[in-house]
């Protein structure tokens, strides 16, 4: 009676080392649409599942440049163009005095870009996700490590993928309903 | 034993975390404080007192709005008084949180992992206390938003050549970035609490705060990149904040303010007082919540060493101030020094030297650095000393400027004291709530310290 399409098949592991080894073997076996879940960041794990392009630095760079320009041009326009005011005989465009706020605006925009850019690229906030349907997945935020092969993977086939994952000696295997 | 093995032996004596923990037990131990441990009577008494102090602050501020700043001790020539003293004091305390979470992260100091969360919380609450003061000091607090450049029908803009404007941007940027840094660090732990909580309301609230975090490898990768970049951005930011605060003084021409030593010496003083506050919070918290395994003697030792080092920089700052008073040949600067030592505010100045320079030298003694009770009191002395430092800078210089005709004295009123003590209450009330509602130690970063977290490719 399993007519509805599965979201994927998930294998559970006991240790970070087991997960990283399993991820490597799964990726080498030709699976590309896979993901790994861990309770803390594991160095090198993202590369093992085929993730190589992290756009966060670019987003932060753009945010910083926009922030710096906004800060400087805002002060220039307000102090020298829209409302020129003689303060102690200083020039209207007194650039050294504008550096501090330019710097702060650079940091502000870059920092906001880092946080919201990271969340947007990760597709968060996302309160519902199919993996949460697996009861054992609640340990992914504690002490268990999970590997999933999505059903959208061209190489995916319910029985074959399952037996492949079985070969990685996981602690358990669950089907993730979509 | 050669030097290297001696150091390794010391490191083994005082580990970052006591051995014997697993991913599961670390998680349970920290999350249980929030999820299952009932609030003790002591917590209710402590929070109750802090809450009453907060109410006292609100009463004092309400009366201030009714009557105006005349209820304070501020007069001409001393127009800054407690509001600015307390602002600088609180902002300075905030600096330790960012130093621990950002600078020590970049320096790969893994001992920061068990104290960064509550140090960041401390930063946020301290900045919130600091932010109150300039707002209520402007005379017409309901117009405080004039500080920000917004398009108004008046057709005017703020005056960007003034350090006070720089301060508005520095402090508001600092508050924003600190809040973001703190929140983003909490997200994975919110997911842990979401999955551990049994009460439906707790599951929903922690679930919403976790933003649906599921620990995907791709997410962790971007997360770590963003976190590292934020740390890189917060590092120059935190150094800039107290630098800009010091510009509020140093750009003025008043004797005792107009010096180039101010920026580094303010930043060092900020970290000095901030670490003192970290210790004053960490020492009771680790005892009450049995967290000695996570916040070990190593943390106390290291914090004490940071205080010792920054304290010496502060002492150097005082020394240079005194030296320049003599060496510059400027009679007003020379008088400022003489006036500090012998003038009407000599008692606060000598107390400041005792609190900030002489007493903290006991931290050279290793035994004292690892004695929590002694450290607690040394930290208290440092916090008092740093408050006195700001008092001396603000009040003594303004009270004796160039012309004897414009000399005056400053006497804080009970409204000044009520507001100041009240902000301490507000700070403590926020800390009390924080330790009950959020994981005060970063759970996922503690997991990375465990030996089983290590992988080889």
Local confidence band at B58 (pLDDT 50, 70, 90 cut-offs) = very high
Among A24, A91, A100, the strongest candidate for a mutation testing the B interface, having the largest count of B CBs within 10 A, is A100
Residues in chain A within 8 Å Cβ distance of B161: 79, 87-88, 90, 94, 97
Q: What is the DSSP secondary-structure string of B277-333?
A: HHHHHHHHHHHHTT-TTTS-HHHHHHHHHHHHHHHHHHHHHHHHHHHHHHHT--HHH
Whether A75 and A92 have beta carbons less than 8 Å apart is answered as: no
Nearest chain A alpha carbon to B151:
A78
Cβ of residue B84 closer than 8 Å to a chain A Cβ: no
Q: What is the pLDDT of residues B291-329, one digit of tens each?
A: 888 888 888 888 999 999 999 999 999 999 889 888 988
Peptide bond into A125 cis (omega under 30): yes
Q: Taking residues B336-346, report their average pLDDT.
A: 91
| Confidence check: pLDDT of B199 > 60 | yes
What local confidence, expressed as pLDDT, does residue B5 receive? Answer: 45
Contact A119 B229 (CB under 8 A): no
| B323 contact partners, CB below 8 Å, separation of at least 6 | none
Cβ of residue B204 closer than 8 Å to a chain A Cβ: no
Phi then psi for residue A145, to 5 deg, are -125, 130
All structural domains of chain B, each given as residue ranges with its CATH number in brackets, are 21-174+233-452 (1.20.1630.10)
Whether B295 and B282 have beta carbons less than 8 Å apart is answered as: yes
What local confidence, expressed as pLDDT, does residue B373 receive? Answer: 93
Q: What is the pLDDT of residues A100-116, one digit of tens each?
A: 999 999 999 999 999 99
* CB interface of A with B, residues 149-178, below 8 Å: none
Whether A42 and B217 have beta carbons less than 8 Å apart is answered as: yes
How far CA A161 is from CA of A34, A35, A171, A173, in Å, comes to 12, 14, 16, 11
Cβ of residue A140 closer than 8 Å to a chain B Cβ: yes
Q: What is the pLDDT of residues B448-457, one digit of tens each?
A: 888 888 877 6
pTM of structure? 0.91
Q: What is the pLDDT of residues A35-54, one digit of tens each?
A: 999 999 988 888 888 888 88
| Confidence check: pLDDT of B9 > 60 | no
Cβ of residue A45 closer than 8 Å to a chain B Cβ: yes
Lowest model confidence (mean pLDDT) among A78-92, B5-19, B239-253, B362-376: B5-19
In this predicted complex, what is the ipTM?
Answer: 0.92
Q: What is the pLDDT of residues B402-447, one digit of tens each?
A: 999 989 999 999 999 999 999 999 999 999 999 999 999 999 988 8
With CA atoms as reference, report the closest residue to B302 among B377, B375, B357.
B375
Residues in chain B within 8 Å Cβ distance of A103: 236, 240
Among B120, B163, B222, the strongest candidate for a mutation testing the A interface, having the largest count of A CBs within 10 A, is B222
Residues in chain B within 8 Å Cβ distance of A100: 163, 166, 169-170, 240, 244, 247
- The secondary structure element, H or E, covering residue A177 is strand A172-177
């Amino acid at each position: 009676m399993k007519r509805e399409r599965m979201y994927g098949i998930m294998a559970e592991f006991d240790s970070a080392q087991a997960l990283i080894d399993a991820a490597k073997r799964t990726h080498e076996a030709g699976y590309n649409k896979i993901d790994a879940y861990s309770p803390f960041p594991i160095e090198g794990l993202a590369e093992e599942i085929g993730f190589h392009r992290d756009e966060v630095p670019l987003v932060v760079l753009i945010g910083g440049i926009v922030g710096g320009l906004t800060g400087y041009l805002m002060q220039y326009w307000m102090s020298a163009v829209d409302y020129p005011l003689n303060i102690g005989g200083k020039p209207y465009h007194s650039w050294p005095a504008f550096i501090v706020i330019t710097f702060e605006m650079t940091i502000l925009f870059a920092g906001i870009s880092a946080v919201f850019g990271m969340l947007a690229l990760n597709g968060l906030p996302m309160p519902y996700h199919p993996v949460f349907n697996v009861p054992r997945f609640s340990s992914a935020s504690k002490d268990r490590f999970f590997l999933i092969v999505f059903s959208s993977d061209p190489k995916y086939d319910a029985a074959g993928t399952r037996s492949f994952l079985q070969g990685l000696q996981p602690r358990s295997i669950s089907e993730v309903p979509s | 034993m050669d030097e290297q093995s001696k150091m390794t032996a010391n490191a083994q004596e005082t580990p970052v975390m006591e051995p014997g923990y697993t991913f599961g037990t670390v998680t349970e131990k920290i999350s249980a404080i929030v999820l299952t441990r009932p609030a003790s009577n002591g917590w209710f008494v402590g929070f109750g007192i802090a809450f009453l102090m907060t109410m006292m602050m609100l009463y004092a501020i309400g009366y201030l709005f009714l009557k105006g700043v005349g209820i304070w001790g501020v007069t001409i020539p001393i127009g800054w008084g407690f509001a600015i003293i307390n602002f600088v004091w609180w902002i300075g305390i905030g600096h330790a949180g960012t130093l621990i979470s950002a600078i020590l992260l970049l320096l790969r100091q893994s001992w920061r992992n068990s104290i960064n969360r509550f140090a960041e919380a401390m930063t946020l609450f301290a900045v919130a206390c600091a932010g109150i003061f300039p707002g209520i000091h402007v005379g017409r607090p309901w117009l405080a938003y004039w500080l920000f450049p917004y398009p108004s029908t008046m057709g005017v803009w703020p005056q960007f050549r003034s350090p006070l404007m720089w301060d508005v941007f520095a402090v508001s940027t600092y508050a924003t970035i600190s809040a973001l840094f703190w929140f983003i660090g909490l997200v994975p732990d919110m997911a842990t609490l979401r999955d551990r909580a049994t009460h439906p309301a707790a599951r929903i609230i922690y679930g919403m705060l976790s933003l649906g975090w599921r620990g995907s490898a791709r997410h962790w990768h971007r997360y770590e990149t963003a976190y590292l970049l934020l740390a890189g951005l917060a590092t120059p930011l935190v150094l800039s904040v107290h630098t800009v605060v010091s510009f509020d003084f140093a750009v003025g021409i008043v004797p005792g303010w107009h010096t180039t030593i101010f920026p580094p010496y303010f930043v060092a003083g900020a970290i000095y007082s901030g670490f003192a506050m970290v210790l004053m919070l960490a020492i009771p918290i680790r005892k009450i919540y049995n967290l000695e395994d996570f916040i070990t003697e190593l943390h106390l030792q290291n914090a004490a060493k940071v205080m010792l080092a920054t304290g010496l920089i502060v002492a150097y700052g005082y020394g240079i101030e005194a030296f320049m008073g003599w060496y510059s040949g400027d009679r007003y600067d020379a008088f400022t020094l003489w006036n500090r030592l012998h003038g009407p505010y000599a008692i606060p100045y000598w107390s400041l030297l005792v609190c900030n320079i002489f007493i903290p030298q006991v931290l050279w003694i290793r035994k004292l650095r690892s004695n929590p009770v002694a450290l607690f009191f040394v930290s208290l002395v440092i916090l008092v000393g740093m408050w006195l430092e700001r008092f001396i800078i603000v009040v003594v210089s303004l009270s004796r400027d160039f012309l004897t005709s414009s000399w005056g004295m400053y006497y804080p009123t009970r409204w000044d004291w009520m507001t100041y003590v009240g902000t301490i209450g507000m700070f403590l009330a926020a800390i009390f709530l924080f330790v009950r509602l959020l994981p005060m130690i970063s759970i996922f970063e503690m997991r990375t310290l465990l030996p089983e977290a290590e992988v080889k490719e």
